[in-house]
Structure 1
């Protein structure tokens, strides 16, 4: 597993992220903005820093489906419009503020404020963005408005934002992990070991490396454990042949994996007396949140399971059907937790630091009732015996980390 995963993040300099500077953040004061884009919703945040304290305000905006699949200009105009609305509500339209931009899609990062989109994931397919600098696209959208003044000081992905957000509270945080709509991780590496990073040492002797591990397996290294369900999901996705690892573990796909299994077992006469429903047999209709809700039932109790099955038109489900549906959900979520844990242990063992805190965000880790415990158990089994670790939920998400990086970057520029 170690050599295979290393290939995921050492093949290209595109995966190298930013110089590591969480300690500087504690000295900066003032107001800073952040945009956090990584799914069907995005957040705009305003943080106000003083010594060892921060105040944060945020608002969530939706991205309609037609914009997710429209042009890049439409997407960034929508983001700029929401940003302006937020600034107006917070009465900061006339202030010129530094902004950190969390952009949670694969980037070829050429600097702290320049990143070229490599490919869309998570249901996005906006034209005219792949291969272009997303920071410049955002600047252009802000300029087209002409009513707000913003300095973009950093672009980073959600793993980096999560790590920086947690590091502000816990200086042993050295890994940022996302297990939500998608999945990815970044970690702190000694700059001397980052062979593809040729910028001068900025003082810490360390850099953050973005693994983009969602793409692990795209070269066939995971074929030996991919199931027919995984292959079906890939074939039906908007990016077939890409993000194999992510498609096995993330919230965008877990519910559909379960649905495919339930459909198969129903048609084989093993579930629901062989009688399914139109909704059960509809792609995407078994949501990942159902997996969390079904596994939230106490042992021997199937209240949530029955409600969900009735919602899917399966009122005839028996108690044994509920037992079996829960078992399928457990198999899929356990596999996801174990795969994440195996990849995480590869990083922990490679870093070989006595104690590392892993900052984690994402809906799957946050809301699944057993994901944390499954990870703790599996990591404890796989990690080198002399190493210790903690898993830390990022309470404020990756957006706060983006604002903190913007604060640090603007202070260093001054």
Structure 2
């Protein structure tokens, strides 16, 4: 009887051990299967975001072709290639005190810049920021510009030097960062409002003229010399600091580029004549599109969910407004495929809940335990207790999305250089090598937090630039960070277009 009992207990223990082993093995198999699905999503992302140099050169060629098409006819390309009528960039010889007004959102800034007639990397300037009352953003044209002119007058009276000799009419550069149809360097008609503004009687009216009328009404002796956007201002700062600057790129929340073009290449405006033989072209390159761009299902879904589907395709792949949300969409897909992020979080389903600065902070987390990744997931997405290997997965996702963006931005820059013959391939024929081509130093002014503040993004962009151009050409192309093109750049252009100083030139 005792033996049977012992035997029964032994069998029972063995059966229980088998059950436990089966459960453990089952969990391991399930876990492996779950992780395999996660890895599959990651591998698919990596493959569809791949940007080998061959593909980047195809993007370069496509950018140059679209630039030609946009210059040939209105609507000939997704690139608008807008004429700015700016043919007179600052060269460092400008003297005097000039003003700038930067209106591009719910705040505006007024600046006063002092120029001493010698090129300088730092410029003495005063600046003041003012919020725009909500009611003025949806009121009347007169109400908005009267308020701005009044603030401008207060700023001038507060900052003016009473001992300044030879008082003369003050000159102002106006940065107006809304869609405008430019009609001259100092005039442009508002096409539509964005960024929360909705002033009906302003649409179709000249922005510079509206400001000038308000300035005249309050008796301020000031002339609106130029009307520009922030990209053109960035080019002005770059050219002021370095005469080899031929283009400007902004890569921040949004993205755009402009460059100096020969007037005889602007076919859609035949007979266009400028003193310098050149003009700054505002590309509006955020709307660039090509079948060579590596588009993923996440990009397609993001575009479909956006307020402007089928527009700004390039911007949606490379700018700070969108990169964080692409990463969020990948993480959401993984959470739907497996439970590696734990219980479902409603925040993960909220568009733009994960902003690009947060994505960059996770990507650049150098701690052994990736504590910043864990903190952001907990604070922003309400997801806790993520295992270390899953945190590493998140960093990898950030890396794939950022690397693609930076490399595509580099291809866009080289596309501009190719169009104007500054990529080292111009004139190569008959078996000549790249080294035989006379290389000119070429500077691209660059602004925007994605480039200036996101180290890994900047490194990937530079790396791609070298890959595309080649090691013999790349050293001749310099990307030079600038500061405050929308403010200081506008004042510099006011100096270029001053009625008192006409020495500035383009090249």
- TM-score, normalisation: structure 2: 0.72
How many residues get paired? 406
Q: In structure 2, do the counterparts of structure 1 residues 113 and 371 end up closer, same or farther at CA, with 3 Å as the change threshold?
A: same
- Per the TM alignment, residue 46 of structure 1 is displaced from its structure 2 partner at its CA by 1.0
Q: 1:16: which partner in 2?
A: 83
Q: 1:115: which partner in 2?
A: 188
Residues 47-66 of structure 1 aligned to structure 2 (within 5 Å)? 47-52=113-118, 53=120, 54-62=123-131
Task: Mark the structure with the bigger radius of gyration.
Answer: 2
Q: In structure 2, do the counterparts of structure 1 residues 228 and 117 end up closer, same or farther at CA, with 3 Å as the change threshold?
A: farther
Q: 1:282: which partner in 2?
A: 350
Instruction: Say which SS state the counterpart of residue 348 (structure 2) adopts.
Output: coil
Instruction: Say which SS state the counterpart of residue 321 (structure 2) adopts.
Output: helix
Give the Cα separation in 2 of the matches to 1:375 and 1:149: 46
- Per the TM alignment, residue 51 of structure 1 is displaced from its structure 2 partner at its CA by 1.7
Instruction: Say which SS state the counterpart of residue 100 (structure 1) adopts.
Output: strand
The answer to which of 169-178 and 100-109 deviates more is: 100-109
1:44 and 1:58 in contact (8 A); partners too: yes
Instruction: Say which SS state the counterpart of residue 233 (structure 2) adopts.
Output: helix
Q: 1:132: which partner in 2?
A: 205
Q: In structure 2, do the counterparts of structure 1 residues 61 and 253 end up closer, same or farther at CA, with 3 Å as the change threshold?
A: farther
Residues 12-161 of structure 1 aligned to structure 2 (within 5 Å)? 12=74, 15-22=82-89, 25-39=91-105, 41-52=107-118, 53=120, 54-62=123-131, 76=145, 79-80=148-149, 82-91=151-160, 96-120=169-193, 123-128=195-200, 129-142=202-215, 146=218, 148-161=220-233
Give the Cα separation in 1 of the matches to 2:128 and 2:463: 36
* 2:278 is the alignment partner of 1:206: yes
Instruction: Say which SS state the counterpart of residue 49 (structure 1) adopts.
Output: strand
1:33 and 1:46 in contact (8 A); partners too: yes
Give the Cα separation in 1 of the matches to 2:405 and 2:357: 14
Give the Cα separation in 2 of the matches to 1:329 and 1:65: 37
Instruction: Say which SS state the counterpart of residue 44 (structure 1) adopts.
Output: strand
Could you report, residue by residue, the CA deviation over 1:30-70 in whole angstroms, capped at 9, with x for unpaired residues?
A: 11111223455543211011121541122334457776677
1:28 and 1:411 in contact (8 A); partners too: no
* 2:370 is the alignment partner of 1:302: yes
Could you report, residue by residue, the CA deviation over 1:382-403 in whole angstroms, capped at 9, with x for unpaired residues?
A: 2365462011000343321111
Q: Which has the higher strand share?
A: 1
Could you report, residue by residue, the CA deviation over 1:183-242 in whole angstroms, capped at 9, with x for unpaired residues?
A: 11111122222223443231x22211111111223xxx4596433333333344333332
Q: 1:330: which partner in 2?
A: 399
Unpaired runs of 5+ residues, structure 2, are 1-58, 75-79, 423-439, 503-507
Q: 1:195: which partner in 2?
A: 267
* 2:427 is the alignment partner of 1:358: no
Give the Cα separation in 1 of the matches to 2:62 and 2:468: 15
1:294 and 1:305 in contact (8 A); partners too: yes
Give the Cα separation in 2 of the matches to 1:412 and 1:193: 31
- TM-score, normalisation: structure 1: 0.86
The answer to which of 364-373 and 166-175 deviates more is: 364-373
Could you report, residue by residue, the CA deviation over 1:248-281 in whole angstroms, capped at 9, with x for unpaired residues?
A: 22222222222222222222226413x2423332
2:410 and 2:465 in contact (8 A); partners too: yes
The answer to which of 156-165 and 276-285 deviates more is: 276-285
- Per the TM alignment, residue 143 of structure 1 is displaced from its structure 2 partner at its CA by 5.3
Instruction: Say which SS state the counterpart of residue 395 (structure 1) adopts.
Output: coil
Give the Cα separation in 2 of the matches to 1:270 and 1:77: 57
